[in-house]
Copies of this chain bind each other. A is one copy, B any other.
Amino acid sequence: MTLESSNPTSSRSPKMDANGERDVLTRLRTDIISSVFEPETRLKFADMKTRYNVGIGTLREALSQLSSEGFVTVEVGKGFRVAPVSAEELIEITDHFITLEKRALREAIEHGGEDWETNIVAVHHRLSLIEGLPWERRMERHSEWVERHREFHESLVAACKGKWLFRLRSLMFDQLDRYRFVTKRAPDGLGGKKSEEHCEIMNATVARDADLACELIEKHIRDTSDRAIRLL
């Protein structure tokens, strides 16, 4: 069995269309997360149609799903907008995410098997390849880093029993990602620190030290969120 096939079912399947392009739902979500559209921006069908090269119906479907996920707001008869952001909301999302992530992590540590462990190490390695790069290179591949970072955190909790626990924590993670993005530009010099933290989290998790892993991950998330709050 290859590592690839042992991958836990991901919350977001790749969903490539016939041409090998990511589908419009995924692309739109990525664009909102990475602030291609400012908060409150109207998402007109005419524009979106040309931008993503899909029909109106397909767009509506994607947009209404994103409204369920909280990325866009909808006012009947007046279309869709990118959801607003606020420091207050970031604080709340951070809080929920930490609670859920810690619960999920404990469950995963309790139930995870060898495949789960192995996957964590593999995914972490891919992440570290980018995090080890000098600042400029890292920035070039930022969108890739975002994806690897998401995969890493997901791999940690992939073995958690609760389906809804996983689902809710993933919902909150994606929301956090959007906020995390505002800190992208700041040339922190924290790259190294973050990379170290990821390593420590991985070690504690694989060593099945739930208390330590939870403590580390809480601090890790809280730190980055606090940074984002100050920049908001």
9 smallest A-B Cβ distances: which pairs? A68-B68, A57-B57, A92-B162, A61-B64, A64-B65, A65-B68, A92-B164, A61-B61, A60-B61
Interface-centre pick from A57, A165, A172 (highest chain B CB count, 10 A): A57
Q: Are B164 and A76 in touch, CB under 8 angstroms?
A: no
Q: Is A40 an interface residue (CB 8 A)?
A: no
Q: Mark A1-44, 1 if CB is under 8 A from B, else 0.
A: 00000000000000100000000000000000000000000000
Q: Is A69 an interface residue (CB 8 A)?
A: yes
Residue among B65, B70, B165 making CB contact with A92, cutoff 8 Å: B165
Name the residue on B nearest A67 (C-beta). Answer: B65
Name the residue on B nearest A62 (C-beta). Answer: B64
Name the residue on B nearest A89 (C-beta). Answer: B163
- Interface residues in chain A, defined as those with a beta carbon under 8 Å from any beta carbon in chain B: 15, 57, 60-61, 64-65, 67-70, 76, 89, 92-93, 96, 162-165, 167-168, 172, 175
Question: Which residues on the B side are within 8 Å of A70 (C-beta)?
Answer: 164, 167
Given contacts A57-B57, A76-B15, A89-B163, contact A96 B64 (CB under 8 A): no
Name the residue on B nearest A162 (C-beta). Answer: B92
Name the residue on B nearest A60 (C-beta). Answer: B61
Question: Which residues on the B side are within 8 Å of A67 (C-beta)?
Answer: 65
A225 vs B167: C-alpha distance when bound (angstroms): 21
Q: Are A164 and B93 in touch, CB under 8 angstroms?
A: yes
Main secondary structure of the interface of A (DSSP, over half): helix
Q: Could you say how many copies of this chain the assembly holds?
A: 2
Question: Which residues on the B side are within 8 Å of A64 (C-beta)?
Answer: 61, 64-65
What is the CB-to-nearest-CB distance from A175 to chain B, in angstroms, rounded to a whole number?
8
A22 vs B69: C-alpha distance when bound (angstroms): 23
What is the CB-to-nearest-CB distance from A174 to chain B, in angstroms, rounded to a whole number?
12
A61-B64, A68-B68, A96-B168 known; 18 new pairs, CB 8 Å cut-off, are A15-B76, A57-B57, A57-B60, A57-B61, A60-B61, A64-B64, A64-B65, A65-B67, A68-B69, A92-B162, A92-B163, A92-B164, A93-B164, A96-B162, A96-B164, A96-B165, A164-B172, A164-B175
Question: Which residues on the B side are within 8 Å of A162 (C-beta)?
Answer: 92, 96
